[in-house]
Amino acid sequence: MLDISFIVPLYNQEKYIIPCLDSIINAGLPKNEYEIIVWNDGSTDKSEELILDYKQSNPSIILYTGTNHGVSYSRNQAILKAGGQYIWFVDSDDLVKSSEVRHLLVAALSNNLDMIAFNWESLLPNGRVESGIHNISDTRPQSGRLVYLNNMITMAPWAFLYKRQFLLNHNLTFPENYKTCEDIQFNQKALFLAEKVELSSRVGYVYRHLHLSATKGRGNRVVEDQIRRLKDEIEWFSDKNDSSFLQTIVYRNLREINVWLAWADSKAQRFDEIKSALKGYGVKSGTGIQAVFILLMKYFPKQVFCVQRWLNKMRRKIHH
């Protein structure tokens, strides 16, 4: 069995796909230890042509091509095809830190981890590199539940290595009915179920910031998916007998929704949808900040949003 499968969903990334693959190849892993699965999700540019040429000198690359179904479908199909003990999801416009790949893989293999999380960097359009948000420190293996409750970590799938058998045993897949936010739900479930998770302070990934502005159209899509995700997660976690975990999920989801509402239309409708999503959810953990925030959002989402916007404006004035 291979040690690791790199899964690279691909859609119209002719400008970035070769640097992405180079960063994996340059990690220097023995060819009999890894594979790179590129799932071409119906690209209409020269991406497939570039891959076909590139793989002639790189036999570790396996190319699958199909019609466009979205990134979740591509990842889910590639999980089934993968032959590695561990999986690393890599976006086709990003890079792995070649020098860190071996270290992270050895940590996962030697400790038989379900997941390992690591730090990352942002590559800005002007070429400047910045540290990613939510930097983490080294920990010993612990349950994913404790990792989630006690840390703020990036929930993108490229910020983890996953044991493939762990994903299969729990039937963990990316939801294919979302246009955004699919990775957050995937990782919340994965961390809840994982028994051995380690945090590493190593910087393993470079996220390329492309110019994706928070437009009205994008804001609407994100808020719609976040509210749908909130409903789905309340339903999925409600019978798991872990009110602390569910409350933390609801709290963090509502915080994200409150941010994205600034770029959404039909705010009155969104406020009603938030109330509806929370209607059957009862806060069980007293009067802590999470419980208070959830209760306020359950009954007064408009007022909470307005207060948050006012506070943000005050902070900007103070900083300027």
In angstroms, the first-to-last Cα distance of the chain is 56
Q: Write down the pTM of the prediction.
A: 0.92
Half-sphere exposure of 257 (CA within 13 A, CB side): 30
d(CA 159, CA 191): 13
Tokens of 277: 């999503």
Tokens of 196: 């051995």
- Which residues neighbour 66 within 8 Å (Cβ) at sequence distance 6 or greater? 39, 40, 41, 42, 77
pLDDT score at 14:
96
Determine contact, residues 155/226, Cβ cutoff 8 Å: no
More confident residue, 137 or 115: 115
Question: Which pLDDT tens digit goes with each residue over 14-63?
Answer: 999 999 999 999 999 999 999 999 999 999 999 999 999 999 999 999 99
- Which residues neighbour 86 within 8 Å (Cβ) at sequence distance 6 or greater? 3, 4, 5, 105, 108, 109, 161, 162, 163, 164
Span of 82-96, 170-184, 245-259, 304-318 with lowest mean pLDDT? 304-318
- Which residues neighbour 33 within 8 Å (Cβ) at sequence distance 6 or greater? 2, 3, 4
pLDDT score at 240:
92
- CATH class for the domain made up of 2-208: alpha beta
Within a 10 A sphere around the Cβ of 300, how many other Cβ atoms? 14
The helix, strand and coil proportions of the chain, stated in percent and rounded to the nearest 5, come to 50, 20, 35
Half-sphere exposure of 305 (CA within 13 A, CB side): 20
Question: Which pLDDT tens digit goes with each residue over 96-106?
Answer: 999 999 999 99
All structural domains of the chain with their residue ranges:
2-208, 216-319
pLDDT score at 213:
47
Question: Which pLDDT tens digit goes with each residue over 242-291?
Answer: 999 999 999 999 999 998 898 888 889 999 999 999 988 877 655 588 98
Cα dihedral: 109, 35, 79, 9 (round 10)? 120
The pLDDT > 90 percentage for the chain reads 72
More confident residue, 8 or 126: 8
More confident residue, 24 or 132: 24
